[in-house]
Amino acid sequence: MADYVALVSRLARLRSAGPAAWGAILALFCMSLAVRLLFGRYLDATPLAPFLPGLPIAALLCGWRKAAVLMTVSLVASLATTAMRTQVPLLALSISTRSVVFLALGGFSIALVEALAQALQRLEAAAQLNADLFRELQHRVANNFQIVAATLQKARRNIADPAAVNAIDHAVARVASLGSLHRRLYDPSSYEAGLEPILREVLDQTFRGAAVKMQLDVSSERLSVGQMTTITLLVNEAAINAAKHAFAARRGGRFVVSLDSDGPRRLLTIADDGPGFKVEEDESAPRYGLSVMRGLAAQLGGALEIHDANGAMIRVAFTAQAPAFPRS
């Protein structure tokens, strides 16, 4: 049913006008008349039947007015053909039950197709308006991230406490990172190719050319747009911590992200080969980053597990959901 509606919608957008529309009407009339003439002896019981299929097609491709003209011309042509074959007066045929039924069925099919085409056009217009409003909203949100970051930087100038300055610096870095990611992440079309391409793009931006070997194993997963957005933010937060406390200090160079399936459950694993969380020189950074990642893990419906063997490792188990759009 969805495929039929999509086909009708595409055809309605291709409606012809002017000479092209009348050319389509003429072609439909000629095809119907040819069927009537070629199979005349088999269609004497239903002489108007060959003309019915062209009416909804004409309404869809050319509009209801031209379809109504086609219906009228088809009725006259069919009656004239029948009158010549049967020697029955044309007036008698025109007021027959067959003619009334043809007009009723033809008019109903034209009205139905026209109503469906107009409804689909209104829905498409509403969907486009909603998409425009959503893009404008996301644009304003991204701008607000920039305003918040600028406000924090301005407030930092009047603070002398090193701990407070350090906390503000971390907050500014996260807000700036979210602002740069926001427009990209909240565009559903970004995820049409799955999670891996957008994840790789985000990590490339976060590491900014650092000598980091990335290993991503998430290409086969089917996730909702909301889940992919949350996972991307979570992985990016882990990458920010790794870039600052492991890769920038050259205490590691490998970053791994995997998403494993176990029935309805998914296990997200993020790991690096740095010094781990326990030996960070700056305790405020991992605590801040971990609090953000715990919140994102909760959005996925899971809990953050932290491991410190041979580097930092984070795991989140959550339940899979149906994808927000069909994937081939």
- Which part of the chain has CATH 3.30.565.10? 193-319
Q: Where are the beta strands (DSSP E) in 178-245?
A: 213-217
Question: What are the b/e assignments for 141-170, b being 16+ CB within 10 Å?
Answer: ebeebeebbeebeeeeeeeeeeeeeebbeb
**How high is the pLDDT of residue 89?**
61
Residue pair 71/107 in contact (Cβ under 8 Å)? The answer is yes
**How high is the pLDDT of residue 71?**
92
Q: Considering the chain, what is the average pLDDT of its residues?
A: 79
Query: What confidence tier does 87 reach under pLDDT thresholds 50, 70, 90?
Result: low
**How high is the pLDDT of residue 92?**
56
pLDDT value at 244 more than 50 = yes
The two three-digit tokens of residue 184, written as one number:
């990209």
Distance CA 65, CA 58 (A): 9
Residue pair 7/48 in contact (Cβ under 8 Å)? The answer is no
For residues 77-106, average pLDDT? 73
For residues 78-97, average pLDDT? 66
Please state which of the ranges 35-44, 104-113, 238-247, 251-260 shows the lowest mean pLDDT: 35-44
For residues 287-315, average pLDDT? 85
pLDDT value at 282 more than 60 = no
**50-60: pLDDT as tens digits:** 889 999 988 88
Query: What confidence tier does 17 reach under pLDDT thresholds 50, 70, 90?
Result: low
**How high is the pLDDT of residue 109?**
92
Distance CA 283, CA 234 (A): 19
**How high is the pLDDT of residue 55?**
92
CA dihedral 22, 26, 29, 30 (to 10 degrees): -170
3-state secondary structure 232-249: HHHHHHHHHHHHHHHHCC
**How high is the pLDDT of residue 206?**
84
Share of the chain above pLDDT 70, in %: 79
pLDDT value at 255 more than 80 = yes
Residue pair 51/75 in contact (Cβ under 8 Å)? The answer is yes
Helix (H, G, I), strand (E, B) or coil at 216: strand
3-state secondary structure the chain: CHHHHHHHHHHHHCCCCCHHHHHHHHHHHHHHHHHHHHCHHHCCCCCCHHHCCHHHHHHHHHCHHHHHHHHHHHHHHHHHHHHHHHCCCHHHHHCCHHHHHHHHHHHHHHHHHHHHHHHHHHHHHHHHHHHHHHHHHHHHHHHHHHHHHHHHHHHHCCCCCHHHHHHHHHHHHHHHHHHHHHHHHCCHHHHCCCHHHHHHHHHHHHHCCCCCEEEEECCCCCCCHHHHHHHHHHHHHHHHHHHHHHHCCCCCCEEEEEEEEECCEEEEEEEECCCCCCCCCCCHHHHHHHHHHHHHHHHHCCCEEEECCCCCEEEEEEECCCCCCCCC
Question: How many of the other CB atoms lie within 10 Å of CB of 242?
Answer: 29
Residue pair 311/271 in contact (Cβ under 8 Å)? The answer is yes
Element (H, E) at 209: none
Q: Which residues contact 86 (CB under 8 A, 6 or more apart)?
A: 44
Please state which of the ranges 129-133, 163-167, 186-190, 281-285 shows the lowest mean pLDDT: 281-285
Q: Which residue has the tokens 């409606």?
A: 15
Share of the chain above pLDDT 90, in %: 15
pLDDT value at 101 more than 80 = yes
The CATH number assigned to the domain with range 193-319 reads: 3.30.565.10
Please state which of the ranges 30-34, 281-285, 287-291, 294-298 shows the lowest mean pLDDT: 281-285
For residues 7-17, average pLDDT? 64
pLDDT value at 18 more than 60 = yes
Q: Which one has a higher pLDDT value, 137 or 213?
A: 213
Query: What confidence tier does 63 reach under pLDDT thresholds 50, 70, 90?
Result: confident
- Using only C-alpha atoms, the chain has a radius of gyration, in whole angstroms, of 33
Query: What confidence tier does 249 reach under pLDDT thresholds 50, 70, 90?
Result: low
**How high is the pLDDT of residue 280?**
45
For residues 181-202, average pLDDT? 76
**How high is the pLDDT of residue 44?**
66
Question: How many of the other CB atoms lie within 10 Å of CB of 305?
Answer: 13
What's the whole-model pTM score? 0.57
pLDDT value at 5 more than 70 = no
Question: Quick one: which of 70, 89, 68, 56 has its CA closest to 25?
Answer: 70
**167-189: pLDDT as tens digits:** 888 788 777 777 777 766 666 67
**202-212: pLDDT as tens digits:** 888 888 767 88
**How high is the pLDDT of residue 45?**
73
